[in-house]
Amino acid sequence: MKILQPVRGTSDLLPADKARQNHVIETAKKIGRTYGFQDMATPIFEFTDVFRRPLGDASDVVSKETYSFEDRGGTEITLRPENTASVMRAVISNGLTQTLPQKYIYAGPMFRYERPQKGRMRQFHQIGVELIGPSSALADAEIIGCGAELLSELGVLEHCTLHLNSLGDTQSRDAYRTALVAFLAQYKDDLSIDSQRRLVQNPLRILDSKDAKDKEIVAGAPQLADYLNDVSKAHYDLLTTALDKANIAFVADPLLVRGLDYYCHTAFEFITDQLGAQGTVLGGGRYDGLSEMLGGPHLPAVGFAAGVERLSLLVDKDEEVRTDILLVVMDTELQADGFALASQLRRAGLSVDMPFTGNISKKLKRADKIGAGIALLLGSQEFATGEVQVKSLGDGETQTIAIDALLTHPLIAPLCE
RNA sequence: GCGGGUGUAGCUCAGUUGGUUAGAGCGCCAGUUUGUGGUACUGGAAGUCGCCGGUUCAAUUCCGGUCACUCGCCCCA
């Protein structure tokens, strides 16, 4: 075991990366607030059944992508591969089904045992929103609008296309699935190996196969849209009308399907062409069936999840974290006084860095690394009269002022929060 | 889980048709400057050539395996 390298599919977030991710997350929370979504969090692990029941044993996520283990008490535990099931579990656990709708936003790490690629990690981070209670297509529009707004605020919407589809309600979907399987069964031997497997496990997935031969066959397959019943059509129509009126551009994508079983009606993904095969940057849909799969009441819900790493890769913003003031203590015997002064400035809201070793020149060099605009030089000569040197690092101008007057100095006062 | 590419200093990369002490730029450290940063100049440290094995008088170089990263498939955020 090579402990000096991180576990495959995990990585350290050094300050530059972490700052970029914080920006994505903070932007999401800000946009979420404008929609009335409240920040919340669920545990990072749950009983394995929380994920196994709704996702289905056959799904890839559960059958081969989860980090599952038995804890010391013999309980089957799974690190969450996504957060929607956890949130729904929390709503039911806490009796919140009595006070609907519930609107949540969350952010945190997820875990999937997959082959890592760019924008695909084994520990990765998602931000997501869930709107639980309403069955109206306007709720779907609100979720999609929130996603679009987030991407727009991050400056990446122009690189993304919104793909939209309707899977219909259970009745429509079952009818379509039957028709699709009947059609594809005729070409069973011509389908790719993967798709032959899907024919049994998840036939709708064959629709977006990238295999050339599969695509040919799929081209002649029945269309999902033709199997939507009136309720499903009305839902889709209201959603698209709302999106149109709000100027949210989308392309109807009849081949867009979701991997997880509990989705119905709306499925959507914001896809970018800038991340190779991991183009989906934000995706979601309606999952009216989830609550019942967990043993709760019938509970309509819709939401999205976005990949923080993927969004961070698209955001070119480099937020440098600067420190306001470099405090250079020029005489060893004044170290403790320097610490006291730094403490006083910090209490006033300033960020202060005070090097402990090195000569004056070496200490001053640190100013550039931390991005400080001002250096304070504390030496015995001026300390004797209660003064300190204030050096503006932009132009090198230095003046000596009373320590008591520091916080009102024209260069320093604006930095106090 | 399957297929392709890559692996030389902290970073970005040269290089060796197999042959003595493996190079550059950036970064880092020190000095020029013992109470004043950036720039400049000078000097310095730093590499099991990913790891293990094989072939060979000799392997960083060739071969095999392995690990990691990366791209694609699968699946998704």
Write the DSSP assignment of A194-228 as a string of letters: HHHHHHHH-GGGGGG---HHHHHHHHTSPPGGGG-
Residue with minimal CA–C1' distance to B30 is: A362
> Does residue A241 sit in the same domain as residue A349?
no
Question: Does residue A248 fall inside a structural domain?
Answer: yes
The last residue of a domain, from among A287, A314, A341 = A314
Q: What is the pLDDT of residue A298?
A: 93
> Does residue A160 sit in the same domain as residue A279?
yes
A343 CA – B13 C1', rounded, Å: 45
A299 CA – B35 C1', rounded, Å: 73
Q: How many helices (H) and strands (E) does chain A have?
A: 14, 16
Question: Does residue A219 fall inside a structural domain?
Answer: no
How many residues are listed for chain A in this entry?
417
**Nearest-nucleotide field for A380 (CA, C1'):** B35
> Does residue A128 sit in the same domain as residue A251?
yes
List, for residues A105-121, the tens digit of each pLDDT value. Answer: 999 999 998 888 888 89
Q: What CATH number does residue A164 fall under?
A: 3.30.930.10
Question: Does residue A293 fall inside a structural domain?
Answer: yes
The last residue of a domain, from among A314, A338, A368 = A314
A97 backbone φψ class: left, alpha, beta (φ>0; ψ -120 to 50):
alpha
Q: What is the pLDDT of residue A56?
A: 63
Question: Does residue A262 fall inside a structural domain?
Answer: yes
> Does residue A245 sit in the same domain as residue A366?
no
Cα–Cα distances in angstroms (integers) from residue A298 to residues A138, A342, A348, in the given order = 19, 59, 53
How far apart CA A343 and CA A325 sit, in angstroms, is 12
Q: Which domain holds residue A58?
A: 15-169+229-314
Q: What is the pLDDT of residue A89?
A: 96
> Does residue A309 sit in the same domain as residue A330?
no
A226 CA – B49 C1', rounded, Å: 63
Question: Does residue A178 fall inside a structural domain?
Answer: no
> Does residue A281 sit in the same domain as residue A367?
no
> Does residue A375 sit in the same domain as residue A251?
no
Residues in chain A predicted with pLDDT less than 70, given as ranges, are 1-3, 55-64, 259-261, 317-320, 417
The last residue of a domain, from among A314, A348, A367 = A314
A413 CA – B72 C1', rounded, Å: 56
Of A46, A35, A53, nearest to A148 by C-alpha is: A35
A396 CA – B4 C1', rounded, Å: 56
Q: What CATH number does residue A351 fall under?
A: 3.40.50.800
List, for residues A354-368, the tens digit of each pLDDT value. Answer: 998 888 999 999 998
**Nearest-nucleotide field for A283 (CA, C1'):** B77
Residue A99 burial by Cβ neighbours in a 10 Å radius (0-12, 13-18, 19+): exposed
Question: Does residue A85 fall inside a structural domain?
Answer: yes
Pull the structure tokens for residue A307.
């990949």
Its ipTM equals 0.83
List, for residues A14-60, the tens digit of each pLDDT value. Answer: 888 888 899 999 999 999 999 999 999 999 999 999 988 776 665 66
Q: What is the pLDDT of residue A163?
A: 94
How many folded domains does chain A comprise?
2
**Nearest-nucleotide field for A125 (CA, C1'):** B77
Q: What is the pLDDT of residue A278?
A: 76
Residue with minimal CA–C1' distance to B34 is: A359
**Nearest-nucleotide field for A308 (CA, C1'):** B77
Estimate to the nearest angstrom the gap between the alpha carbon of A9 and the chain centroid. 17
> Does residue A157 sit in the same domain as residue A304?
yes
Cα–Cα distances in angstroms (integers) from residue A371 to residues A316, A364, A366, in the given order = 20, 12, 9
> Does residue A298 sit in the same domain as residue A244?
yes
Q: What is the pLDDT of residue A197?
A: 77
> Does residue A162 sit in the same domain as residue A261?
yes
Question: Does residue A257 fall inside a structural domain?
Answer: yes
Q: What is the pLDDT of residue A38?
A: 96
Beta carbons of A300 and A135 less than 8 angstroms apart: yes
Report the SS3 class of residue A48: helix
Report chain B positions within 7 A of protein CB atoms.
1-3, 28, 30-31, 33-38, 67-77
> Does residue A285 sit in the same domain as residue A376?
no
Q: What is the pLDDT of residue A69?
A: 87
Question: Does residue A176 fall inside a structural domain?
Answer: no
Other Cβ atoms less than 10 A from the Cβ of A39: the count is: 12
**Nearest-nucleotide field for A84 (CA, C1'):** B77
> Does residue A269 sit in the same domain as residue A374?
no
A200 CA – B63 C1', rounded, Å: 45
A78 CA – B32 C1', rounded, Å: 62
**Nearest-nucleotide field for A11 (CA, C1'):** B69
A279 CA – B73 C1', rounded, Å: 15
